[in-house]
Structure 1
Amino acid sequence: MSPVPPSPYDAPALVAGHGFFSCLTQDGELLSLDREMARRFIERGNIPLVIHAPATARMLGLPPPGQPAPWFDLLELFAFVHPARPVVPTPRGLALALDIGDVPDKRPEADLLPRLAARLLADLKQVKGTEAQELVGALAVRLAKAGWIWGQAVTDVLGVSAPLPPEVMQPGDALRIWRNLPKWEETARRPPPGSKPVTPAEARARLTALLGPDSESRVGQADFADVATAAFAPRESPGLPQVVLAEAGTGTGKTLGYIAPASVWAERNGGAVWISTYTRHLQRQIEAETARLHPDAAIRRRHVVVRKGRENYLCLLNMEEAVNVAPTRGNAAVIALALLARWGVTSAEGDLFGGDLPGWFGEIFGHGIVSAVADRRGECIHGACPHYQRCFVEHSIRRAQEADLVIANHALVMSQAAWAQIQGVHATERGDPKDGSPPEEGAVPDEDGQPTRYVFDEGHHLADAADGAFALELSGLEAAELRRWLLGAEGSRSRARGLKRRLDDLVVGIPRLETPLDAAMLAAKALPAPGWSARLREEDEDAGPAEELPPGMMMPALLLPMREPVSEPVTVNPTEDFLRLLREQVRARTAGTGRDPAGRETGRERRGNRECDLYPLIPGLAEAAVTLARAMGRISEPLRTLVVRLEERLRDETDTLDSTSRGRIEAMIRALRRRALSRLDGWTAMLSTVATPPESEVTPQFIRFIRTESREGQRRGEQDVGLHQHWLDPTIPFAAVLAAPAHGLLITSATLRDETGSIQEGEAERVWEAAEARVGANHLPMPALRAALASPFDYAAQTRVFIVNDVAHDNLDALAAAFRTLFLASGGGGLGLFTAIERLRGVHRRIAAPLEEDGIPLYAQHVDAMDNTTLVDVFRTETDSCLLGTDAMRDGVDVPGQALRLVVFERVPWPRPDILHRERRLHLSQGAPGIYDDRIARLKLRQAFGRLIRARNDRGVFVLLDRRTPSRLLSAFPEGVAPRRMGIAATAAEIRAFFAEQQAARNSLP
């Protein structure tokens, strides 16, 4: 018989780590337990106060606690009491968020948790008498009914119980937040911006105002603001943007340096400057800096907008569907949705990923519930949605149209530019350019309007972002997803409705619309059917075709315009047939595979991702590509006809169509173009060239290859397979589609140039030319203005760099021992960077518990159940903790002060030796592939080193655990920093001495 849950006021408490467990018993006794004792304590039926129940269970070696959670998780209570408020999910993090002082610097014990619970429940009392009381009370009653473990305590504090009086909000209505959110109102379109320039003096004056009278003066920052003004000068001719390349060393203060002239230009010209950076985390960092420009949050909200892709925001239509089916999904779904509702009505922007929903929310309540209420599949119906005027995304879009500064990310900016180009093609085909934008100018305004001024921060990532935006992938998952969007769930439990159900009442009884719709639905069966991945894995030829049409049935032309005549019947699924041949070619061309006696693949490569060149083709692949191209045409042509006829209906029935129907038709036209036609046209164009190998003596425009890989959402053992197409130089479409139509661009980074340390004649010019090629400036007709501003830091005094020469790179035990030794030498504050996830996990397994025993918590990307942003927040808050990560932790992590004082790189970050790199190395290295590889490695080392010193008082150590490090890479480190090669023991001793010297200097201060 299950014990009755205790009141949180007298529940025991448990703080868990890798090597320690602090327990406060119900009798008030504070105990230190080992893992086995702590697990027995829980298994005896004790229901404790904890922080982050899934992480606690993992530390105990127990399965996830599930939902409703059987423990009093303080994070759940925090999410209810303080929604949309950041908090680090650790005892110290909660104490700081709740303004509880006297928390020990070292590891907090379990006796802190009852104090945190008491403070949260006391804060909840403050809701009484406020406007939020009715909603919060209704949600509390619904949560209690669903069995939320905090439900009774919360309803007691609020003084509510079921049933609620009829005149107040009822528990079920409290979940329907779309009824209570504000509406946006349509306004007149903003006129085009002016072209008045910003002078250097004006930029410096604005910078001085932003910094305030008590801020530190930085000469380099003022010079940066001065240089940046050139990007805001008037454009002199179409296609000739004003381009500035500015390398600003760490500590220059480039964020305020470009905000100063950007804000002056925006205010003077009535236009928006789009500031783009690489990650969502960096977007928030830039937004935080704009508080100096507009200290009042309400005013800042009008002038500064953060923009992300639609898939990042809470979709109210998905929320409505989730709420409607929640009672059939159990109490766990109700609890999660109730807490999401509490957040949704409080959130400033409805940003689920990287916004004000805590990053740990999905870890505790399930990532599936968060993904389910986002538009992750591109199914937005725009104006046809009943919640359109309350939509978070639409609010954001309209605010961005009136804002001065729009803070976006490279992926969004690139994808909008790519889509704007497609829109321009559609408009040109119709002879009807939108908004008067001439076709020769390139992009047509998208929903945000095409910006004229850009600032690209973290500009060294532009090529990577362009590579993702302008690449093409015809894979099983991509094609199956399109089929699902067109045909719907096809018998699965998915709620996907399919195109026919979404359009049926708009086309029924209208043969001109029904005919192409039916033709497209039948033709869409050529895309991979449910279960395609399992069928692809089967190697028994007797398994039969993936899917057949009824006997004798052909894909009909239906008198629609076809790009190629079709005469042969289609009796097998052409996409699955093509994918099968792609998979066969990868298996045939990659090393390490064979067959065991049972006929299964063997070898080291069997479970990993594999890739091979497209050419030469195996027998049958060229013919399969031609057949599939025809099948794609059978889908796209009726869809194109449907779009044309829907547009005709909008024009011809202006006086009879109601507003709802008009909005739905407009939304469907947009979705058909973006979700289906643009993809099908790209696939068809790629497939039509498969049978023609590129000429061997000609530099290719595209790189095409085949890849198999495991993807999220696939069952264990299943792999996706696809044909991939990338631009050889992805900065070419970036320059043509985005940069050339713009009026001005500032591209900045701390690592634009690869300074080799060479004193050869012309070396400085070659370094700049390479930097321009990396960001696409070399493809623009007008040369860019170049500027390099040195870091204000004294790296020779503030840092030390060591290359450890006695750790075997292929010995995981030795590598783990080296990390443990170094982290102990620094007393924590260490960031360990890895080039391979498996080595990261192996090191973590070996050193987490020993470090914990010495009071150094260890966190790790790809190990801990936290997203990257939350991990960095924990690392920043727990100043003696250590963090292991990969590339995402190397770039753009800003952790000033003692929290980051040691960076350890496990080996030289050489570029990954895949097909993409091979081809770019061959064709873009200007005959020096070795120099090309060295440049990539040096720039990665510079970026990693740049994480170390973020302020004048920082001191730090950089260690490279690769005795094979060539000396030619050491110019990656700043001038005056002399890397020293020595053993691990001597390195640890030097680290201890370096930080002891720093501590002695601090102690000597008055």
Structure 2
Amino acid sequence: MATPPPSPDLPPALVARHGTCSLLTPDGELLAVPGEDAARLLRDMPPPMVVHAPLTARRLGLPPLPQPTPWLDLLELFLFAMPGRTVPPTARGLALALGLDEARIGAAEADLLPDLADILLDHIAALRPTPAGEEMAALAARMDHAGWAWAPSVLAALTVPHRLPAEALQPGDAIRVWRRLPKWEETAPRPAPSSLPVPVADARRRLAEMLGTDAESRAGQADFAGAASAAFAPRLARGDPHLVLAEAGTGTGKTLGYVAPASLWAERNGGPVWISTYTRHLQRQIEGELARLHPDPAIRRQHVVLRKGRENYLCLLNMEEAVNVAGNRGGPSGGIVALSLLARWAGVTADGDLMGGDLPGWFGDLFGRGTLAGVADRRGECIHGACPHYQRCFVEHSIRRARQADLVIANHALVMTQAAWHAMGGDAASDEDNIPTRYVFDEGHHVMDAADSAFSVELSGLEAAELRRWLLGAEGARSRARGLKRRLDDLVVGDARLESPLDAVLQAAHALPAPGWSGRLAGMLRAAMPSPPGEDPATPEAPTPPRDTLPNPCEQFLHLLACQVLARSPAGHQAQPGMPGSIECDLHPLAETVPPAATTLARAFDRLSVALRTLVDRLLERLDDESGDLDPATRERIEAAVRTMRRRALSRVDGWSAMLRALGETRDDTQLGAPQYVDFIRMDRREGQRPGEQDVGLHRHWLDPTIPFATVLAAPAHGVLITSATLRDENGKGDPEEAERAWEAAEARTGASHLPSPALRAALASPFDYRHQSRAFIVTDVAHDDIGALAAAYRTLFLAAGGGGLGLFTAISRLRAVHRRLSQPLDEAGIPLYAQHVDGMDNATLVDIFRSETDSCLLGTDAMRDGVDVPGRSLRLVVFERVPWPRPDILHRERRTHLSHGAPGEYDDRIARLRLRQAFGRLIRSTGDRGAFVLLDRRAPSRLMSAFPDGVAVRRAGLAETARELEAFLRASTDGEHARPPVP
């Protein structure tokens, strides 16, 4: 056994739940006490051993713990001992990951924690003679100086002397992991791929090889692979790709179904296939399933690459700066503890992905989201070739691997942005990734949403202020933000042709909102608000200058937008500056003060645009003029600087200018026909803003965002497969006309209708027997506007199911209100409750906990509705609080009017039915699953019931009757059948 922490007694151990706690006292007594009593008892004890210290403190009602925490958090010890592995952040999850059997885990009480600590310390001790042990010894010595609670135990396990030998790795070097990471090397460009087809028989054969001889035979999966192979046929005409729309019911096995033809095409033609998803979670899920294609991890790494935006990866330069800053403080430092654990992870990570990779999603919960934000490239400030860590950069590694890979797993946002930039030209020769000719869009029902986000334009205070910070850097605030001058300094210094436009850029950037703009905006709006009758006029907190003397034209324009939205929005009479929520109004008709301000701001943007374009052009001229003298690193830096300025600044400013100039165009509101764009003003609270502050902005969206998607991505491609379990709003009644309308609507939502040739359609039914595996209820006696009644309904249903419940909400406020009323009664019944937007953990971590805690319950919003894959008993009940109608905002109003292809109400119904289908799809994930779906909305119209699969009879009943039938159904399935493993 490892040496225990050096104290006369073992530390107390604590497992905190919502109401009661399991407490192991220092003398070995195991107690079950209320949370208030546990908090009181801990005041007279040494710091306890826990799993997830911040969450434990919240459940005890304690203030946030300092950093480094004095508590012995087993998650921190796990990060140190086993970096690069993820684990659900609970006592049970940690115990399962460490190999304990269910008999020892039991109810995961506090007496389990010392055993977990022993296992982890034994693991550390076993690494003592290895290079990893030397690294751990040096890091632990540094963390001990910083005040890490586990350091004495770790140092004892490693038998580290008081002073490390001179020849050993020293603490200051151990944390500087960037010095030890491998370098990438350039390879020759890959030739253009050929165009050999993938015959259907070959796709089916490849699928059978991946599944192996022991796999369950499913005709639907093989049929899906055959249909998907049509997307890999040789293109016959430019701008006319082979587009396949394939709806594959839940359980069809569509991932391996499309991987079969995609991998064959890539191997035979020497080109990549890009597989795109909507969520990061599914990216990792697909990557995991590719172990069936390449079981050897080293070979899989050569052929498969996962790509995300730069902001997801660890930036080694930012980490170096963070280490230097934290190291200069001296004494205890939570920053050093977090950075040391990041250093442990960085040395073993597969790709440096901070968000959804092999760094546990709860790292930010332990050390604060700001820690990860500070070491990621979230500010667009990469200096590329000028970075001393450029050849060790995780992003550059992944870019170069992707150029040689067969399968690249990306996300919709990255894929669409990349295609848009390639379509604009100019960057094609130096783009980060080779543009593929074949795409697979999984989660295809989100293509329109992703395109809407990718191709919209937003001129808001936060966006404009962020651009100013990117150009000017930190302006007096304590920040490591690097401005454009610092990033380009050695490229332009001493060259008047470059210094002059750079100075012009920096001068023009002062037209953007200055630091503190949101507070000034709130003050001006409060000052302008009329006082209620009989009250004295409000006095602003600080003197506010007249509108014509505001600091810059952008702040003046934003102020006028805010005034218009407060005046015009239907909710404007209730809105107060800085209040939570959002309000919006149409841009037209414009308030008379807006066009002159827009013209002034457009001129300011023109000055910035001209200066940026001049700087870009002269940098490119330098590339030509000094082509024989520039070293490769400098050339790469210039190309990267040009690319970044175009993407990060020029495109944004040009888009803003176009919007502003459109304000001055004559508008005929009586003109018939659909508009190309939808313009509106929105004011809302943004993440990171202080209480009392709001953002306001002018938004421009394509009325039909699948037009730019089809134009810039689908049309240039040779083949595109778009697949999902919910592409169509199909009623399953066999009506040919209705079936055709459902396909036409699916083609409209995916952009297929904008391409020359019709899409190939395929629909594969789910293999599940929904009639026997599931039940569906609509509860008829719960008032939709009574939060107490709603919470009582969730409590009744979750208790009837004995846990395993996923509660879905259409509003965060309702989720939180129900959680407050639900947590303690469930806890008293032994059912752990977790919640998105409450527990401070990312969605993937919450799902991992939910999956590992068989009888827990989870509350979530739309991200949980679409992104949860939990086969087995851990998910046996889905409860939806109300019909998920689309949000009735301006953008939806215009699309409902112009894109409905029928009655506008049918457009709303279609969206609601597809969302219900997605929610129901969370329930049955394997042939052995049994579960029930409950909708707590007695107003749900019968016409929406076709959202449920064939064979599912939807029963309307009261809450008590629903709970009885639910309990009986789940008990019968548990007693009478054994769950089979999920099919691949």
Q: Are 1:194 and 1:269, in contact at CA under 8 Å, matched by a contact in 2?
A: yes
Question: Which whole-Å CA distance do the structure 1 matches of 2:437 and 2:412 have between them?
Answer: 16
Question: Which whole-Å CA distance do the structure 1 matches of 2:112 and 2:932 have between them?
Answer: 34
Partner of residue 616 from structure 2, selected from 630, 643, 653: 643
Q: What is residue 537 of structure 2 aligned with on the other side?
A: none
Partner of residue 369 from structure 1, selected from 368, 371, 377: 371
Question: Which whole-Å CA distance do the structure 2 matches of 1:219 and 1:104 have between them?
Answer: 42
Is 1:501 the counterpart of 2:491? The answer is no
Residue correspondence of structure 1 range 819-898 to structure 2 within 5 A: 819-898=794-873
Please give the per-residue CA displacement for 1:72-100, whole angstroms capped at 9, x wherever unaligned. Answer: 10000000000010111111111111111
TM-superposed CA distance for 1:5, in Å, is 8.8
TM-superposed CA distance for 1:134, in Å, is 2.1
Amino acid at match of 2:663: V
Question: Which whole-Å CA distance do the structure 2 matches of 1:217 and 1:361 have between them?
Answer: 41
Please give the per-residue CA displacement for 1:813-844, whole angstroms capped at 9, x wherever unaligned. Answer: 10000000000111110000000111111111
Residue correspondence of structure 1 range 17-96 to structure 2 within 5 A: 17-96=17-96
Q: Classify 1:354/1:1003 alpha carbon distance in 2 versus 1 (closer, same or farther; 3 Å).
A: closer
Q: Are 2:124 and 2:133, in contact at CA under 8 Å, matched by a contact in 1?
A: no
Q: What is residue 563 of structure 2 aligned with on the other side?
A: 584
Q: Which runs of 5+ in 1 are unaligned?
A: 428-433, 436-444, 549-568, 596-600
Q: Classify 1:106/1:589 alpha carbon distance in 2 versus 1 (closer, same or farther; 3 Å).
A: farther
Q: Are 1:547 and 1:573, in contact at CA under 8 Å, matched by a contact in 2?
A: no
Q: Classify 1:5/1:257 alpha carbon distance in 2 versus 1 (closer, same or farther; 3 Å).
A: closer
Amino acid at match of 2:398: S
Q: What is residue 299 of structure 1 aligned with on the other side?
A: 299
Aligned with 1:922: secondary structure? helix
Q: What is residue 451 of structure 1 aligned with on the other side?
A: 436
TM-superposed CA distance for 1:364, in Å, is 0.5
Q: What is residue 688 of structure 1 aligned with on the other side?
A: 661
Please give the per-residue CA displacement for 1:144-181, whole angstroms capped at 9, x wherever unaligned. Answer: 11110101111111122343222221101111111100
Q: Classify 1:105/1:941 alpha carbon distance in 2 versus 1 (closer, same or farther; 3 Å).
A: farther
Q: Are 1:451 and 1:742, in contact at CA under 8 Å, matched by a contact in 2?
A: yes
Say which is worse superposed, 93-102 or 916-925, in terms of deviation: 93-102
Question: Which whole-Å CA distance do the structure 1 matches of 2:973 and 2:551 have between them?
Answer: 72
Partner of residue 797 from structure 1, selected from 758, 766, 772: 772
Is 1:488 the counterpart of 2:473? The answer is yes
Residue correspondence of structure 1 range 371-386 to structure 2 within 5 A: 371-386=373-388
Residue correspondence of structure 1 range 710-729 to structure 2 within 5 A: 710-729=685-704
Question: Which whole-Å CA distance do the structure 1 matches of 2:880 and 2:543 have between them?
Answer: 51
TM-superposed CA distance for 1:663, in Å, is 3.4
Q: What is residue 345 of structure 1 aligned with on the other side?
A: 347
TM-superposed CA distance for 1:626, in Å, is 1.0
Residue correspondence of structure 1 range 920-959 to structure 2 within 5 A: 920-959=895-934
Q: Are 1:197 and 1:234, in contact at CA under 8 Å, matched by a contact in 2?
A: yes
Amino acid at match of 1:205: R
TM-superposed CA distance for 1:520, in Å, is 1.6
Aligned with 1:895: secondary structure? coil
Question: Which whole-Å CA distance do the structure 1 matches of 2:856 and 2:631 have between them?
Answer: 61
Q: What is residue 160 of structure 2 aligned with on the other side?
A: 160
Corresponding residue pairs, total? 959
Say which is worse superposed, 718-727 or 511-520, in terms of deviation: 511-520
Q: Are 1:834 and 1:905, in contact at CA under 8 Å, matched by a contact in 2?
A: yes
Residue correspondence of structure 1 range 529-568 to structure 2 within 5 A: 529-539=514-524, 540=527
TM-superposed CA distance for 1:593, in Å, is 4.2
Question: Which whole-Å CA distance do the structure 2 matches of 1:522 and 1:773 have between them?
Answer: 46
Q: Are 2:803 and 2:854, in contact at CA under 8 Å, matched by a contact in 1?
A: yes
Q: Are 2:256 and 2:289, in contact at CA under 8 Å, matched by a contact in 1?
A: yes
TM-superposed CA distance for 1:546, in Å, is 7.2
Partner of residue 402 from structure 2, selected from 389, 392, 400: 400
Report the aligned-residue RMSD: 2.0
Aligned with 1:994: secondary structure? helix
Q: Classify 1:692/1:6 alpha carbon distance in 2 versus 1 (closer, same or farther; 3 Å).
A: farther
Question: Which whole-Å CA distance do the structure 1 matches of 2:779 and 2:467 have between them?
Answer: 51
TM-superposed CA distance for 1:7, in Å, is 4.0
Aligned with 1:793: secondary structure? coil
Please give the per-residue CA displacement for 1:701-760, whole angstroms capped at 9, x wherever unaligned. Answer: 111100111112211110011000100001000000000011101110000000135665
Q: What is residue 310 of structure 2 aligned with on the other side?
A: 310
Q: Classify 1:477/1:571 alpha carbon distance in 2 versus 1 (closer, same or farther; 3 Å).
A: closer
Partner of residue 642 from structure 2, selected from 639, 645, 669: 669
Q: What is residue 509 of structure 2 aligned with on the other side?
A: 524
Please give the per-residue CA displacement for 1:319-372, whole angstroms capped at 9, x wherever unaligned. Answer: 111111112456111111011001110111111000000011110011111110
Residue correspondence of structure 1 range 37-436 to structure 2 within 5 A: 37-103=37-103, 107-329=107-329, 331-422=333-424, 424=425, 426=426, 434-435=428-429
Partner of residue 785 from structure 1, selected from 760, 769, 779: 760
Question: Which whole-Å CA distance do the structure 1 matches of 2:490 and 2:277 have between them?
Answer: 43
Q: What is residue 750 of structure 2 aligned with on the other side?
A: 775
TM-score by length of 1: 0.93
Q: What is residue 588 of structure 2 aligned with on the other side?
A: 615
TM-superposed CA distance for 1:957, in Å, is 0.2
Amino acid at match of 2:597: A
Q: What is residue 724 of structure 2 aligned with on the other side?
A: 749
Q: Are 1:9 and 1:114, in contact at CA under 8 Å, matched by a contact in 2?
A: no
Q: Are 2:678 and 2:894, in contact at CA under 8 Å, matched by a contact in 1?
A: yes
Q: What is residue 566 of structure 1 aligned with on the other side?
A: none
TM-superposed CA distance for 1:106, in Å, is 5.6
Question: Which whole-Å CA distance do the structure 2 matches of 1:86 and 1:607 have between them?
Answer: 35
Q: What is residue 559 of structure 1 aligned with on the other side?
A: none
TM-score by length of 2: 0.95
Q: Classify 1:1004/1:320 alpha carbon distance in 2 versus 1 (closer, same or farther; 3 Å).
A: closer
Q: Classify 1:468/1:1004 alpha carbon distance in 2 versus 1 (closer, same or farther; 3 Å).
A: closer
TM-superposed CA distance for 1:46, in Å, is 2.9
Q: Are 2:240 and 2:718, in contact at CA under 8 Å, matched by a contact in 1?
A: yes
Q: Which runs of 5+ in 2 are unaligned?
A: 529-539
Question: Which whole-Å CA distance do the structure 2 matches of 1:220 and 1:517 have between them?
Answer: 60
Amino-acid identity (%): 67
TM-superposed CA distance for 1:594, in Å, is 4.5
Please give the per-residue CA displacement for 1:280-332, whole angstroms capped at 9, x wherever unaligned. Answer: 00111111110011111111111111111110000011111111111245611
Q: Are 2:504 and 2:611, in contact at CA under 8 Å, matched by a contact in 1?
A: yes
TM-superposed CA distance for 1:417, in Å, is 1.6
Amino acid at match of 1:406: V
Question: Which whole-Å CA distance do the structure 1 matches of 2:126 and 2:270 have between them?
Answer: 42
Is 1:628 the counterpart of 2:573? The answer is no
Question: Which whole-Å CA distance do the structure 2 matches of 1:479 and 1:66 have between them?
Answer: 35
TM-superposed CA distance for 1:585, in Å, is 0.4
Q: What is residue 781 of structure 2 aligned with on the other side?
A: 806
TM-superposed CA distance for 1:487, in Å, is 1.2
Please give the per-residue CA displacement for 1:979-1006, whole angstroms capped at 9, x wherever unaligned. Answer: 000000000000111012112313899x
Q: Are 1:702 and 1:728, in contact at CA under 8 Å, matched by a contact in 2?
A: yes
Say which is worse superposed, 644-653 or 413-422, in terms of deviation: 413-422
Say which is worse superposed, 994-1003 or 280-289, in terms of deviation: 994-1003
TM-superposed CA distance for 1:590, in Å, is 1.7
Q: Are 1:803 and 1:963, in contact at CA under 8 Å, matched by a contact in 2?
A: yes
